[in-house]
Amino acid sequence: MTHIQLLGTGGTIASRDSGGTGSVATDAATDLARAEYGELRVTARDVLTTNSYRLTLGDLRLIAEATQEALVDRGNDGVVVTHGTDTLEETAFLLDLVHRSPKTVVLTGSQQPADSPAPDGPRNVEEAVLAAASPGLHNSGVLISFNGTVRSARGARKAHTTASSPFQGGAEVAHMAGDELVVTATPQRHHPPLPLPSAAFDTTRVEIVTAYPGATPDLLDFAVQFGAQAVVLAGTGVGNAGPGFAENVAQAVESGCAVVLSTRAPWGPVVPLYGNGGGTDLVAAGAIPSGDLNPFQARILAALLLSHGTPAAELPWAFRAHL
């Protein structure tokens, strides 16, 4: 019988009303899944029980360690991680960066709490279990399964606060057709896996600064002065920022703080095209284009590389190797 290990971390799927003061993650992993789904057997254990907006990089490291432990266990054929949707895209991307097993890891959660009149968690868990067990999805790395759609972790992001299908982006690899999982694509993994995060990951400072009309580089300077090891600049459009940013990016890089150039636009790559302080000038000043990575996943990659001791001078090459 195929065996799937479920790892609980909390989130809405494990939350119940706490007496009129809002939902709080309380349910154990064993409450989230049945023991068997047809020919599939599921065992569950808790890694964390918290809402994902409270997670730290240290918490993400614990999830990565628990996932790796489950993957190397020969008794497990796949892994499901239940997680809050707020920051699921960051955890999923971290897990994908360090994934080196043919077994599939699938993250899922819910938009309705466990005590909702119509909770969506049980269905999402069942579909995630099917995806984790599917032979057609072996060697696919880390996936996100939600409301009948399975997509790659890389490039995915939460795009709606309340919709039953909150995630978009990435590449769709499977979907549910009735009770059957239909595999439509298998991601090709061209990026070498990185080592698991070390304890240094917990305290790696990578901040995000957003560009907008009238923005000044003061927040960028503040981040550098108060110990940021890198800053992700969420630029406008294809990766631009206003007056003063190019000069301050150069100063940040000169001081040893890396700057990664991403975009605040929901979809599309960073393509340096514009001068007069735009993306061309920012890259010339030392900013590292993030390709298709959104600011939040770009931050995870930068933090992981820096925590492994990648020197600032080598970060551009190391970063590009994983785009």
Is residue 149 part of the annotated active site? The answer reads: no
Binding residues for substrate: 52, 85-86
Tell me, rounded to whole angstroms, the distance of Cα 281 from its chain centroid. 29
Series of mean pLDDT values for 10-residue runs along the chain (323 residues):
97 92 95 90 97 98 98 98 98 98 98 96 98 96 98 97 97 97 89 96 98 98 97 98 98 97 97 96 98 97 98 92 93
pLDDT at residue number 189: 79
Catalytic residue among 9, 12, 67, 204: 12
Domains belonging to the chain, first-starting first, are: 2-183 (3.40.50.1170), 204-320 (3.40.50.40)
Contact 79, 70 (CB under 8 A): yes
Is residue 12 part of the annotated active site? The answer reads: yes
Tell me, rounded to whole angstroms, the distance of Cα 213 from its chain centroid. 28
Binding residues: 52, 85-86
pLDDT at residue number 313: 85
Q: What angle do CA 195, 196, 198 make, to 5 degrees?
A: 110
Amino acid, res. 196: L
Helix spans in the chain (H): 57-72, 88-97, 121-133, 218-225, 245-254, 279-284, 295-307, 315-320
pLDDT at residue number 87: 98
Catalytic residue among 9, 67, 82, 85: 85
pLDDT at residue number 187: 81
Whole-angstrom distance, CA of residue 195 vs CA of residue 20: 43
The model's pTM is 0.97
pLDDT at residue number 35: 86
